[in-house]
């Protein structure tokens, strides 16, 4: 799934649009709940080396909150890493280069959405 496809999926399934809260980083898209303003997804570009990948190029990722009890099982999958620039215990970074299938990505997005919604 591409960045654009993911943003469209989020708008359709979650009913929220991207915010760009960082003037210095206008390409960072943040998605948060309308009810409590908690983030559930952050899409950004990072150097692949920040994810411990060997290549020296910029890649698109999405940071998603994840339940600790399922985190490790997803970290063994290609394209899913401990979160860049977030709490690595509670968040993962997912490459948006097609290495993670759409069903897994949308499942992780739904988990993140549910974990951060107002109870």
Q: How far is CA 58 from CA 12, 51, 76, 80, in A?
A: 27, 11, 22, 16
pLDDT exceeds cutoff 90 at 53: no
DSSP for residue 23: T
71 and 85 in contact (C-beta within 8 Å)? no
pTM: 0.92
Q: How confident is the model at residue 119 (pLDDT cuts 50, 70, 90)?
A: low
Show me where the domains of the chain are located.
3-116
Instruction: Give 85-114 pLDDT, tens digit per residue.
Output: 787 789 999 999 999 999 999 999 999 999
Give the residue from 115, 114, 117, 77 showing the smallest Cα distance to 93.
Answer: 77
pLDDT score, position 80: 96
Average pLDDT over residues 6-14: 94
CA distance 33 to 74: 24
Question: Between 23 and 62, where is the model more confident?
Answer: 62
Report pLDDT for 77.
Answer: 93
DSSP characters over 47-79: EGGGGT-S--SEEEEEEEE--HHHHHHHHTSTT
Average of per-residue pLDDT values in the chain: 92
Q: Has residue 42 got a pLDDT over 90?
A: yes
Top CATH class, 3-116:
alpha beta
Q: 62 pLDDT band (50/70/90 cuts)?
A: very high
In the chain, the N- to C-terminal Cα span, in Å, equals 30
């Amino acid at each position: 799934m591409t960045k654009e496809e993911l943003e469209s999926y989020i708008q359709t399934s979650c009913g929220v649009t991207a915010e760009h809260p960082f003037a210095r980083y206008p390409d960072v898209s943040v998605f948060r709940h309308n009810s409590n303003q908690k983030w559930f997804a952050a899409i950004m570009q990072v150097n692949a080396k920040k994810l411990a990948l060997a290549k020296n190029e910029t890649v698109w990722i999405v940071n998603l909150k994840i339940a600790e009890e399922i985190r490790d099982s997803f970290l063994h999958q290609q394209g899913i890493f401990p979160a860049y620039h977030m709490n690595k215990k509670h968040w993962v970074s997912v490459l948006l280069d097609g290495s993670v299938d759409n069903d897994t990505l949308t499942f992780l997005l739904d988990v993140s959405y549910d974990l951060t919604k107002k109870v």
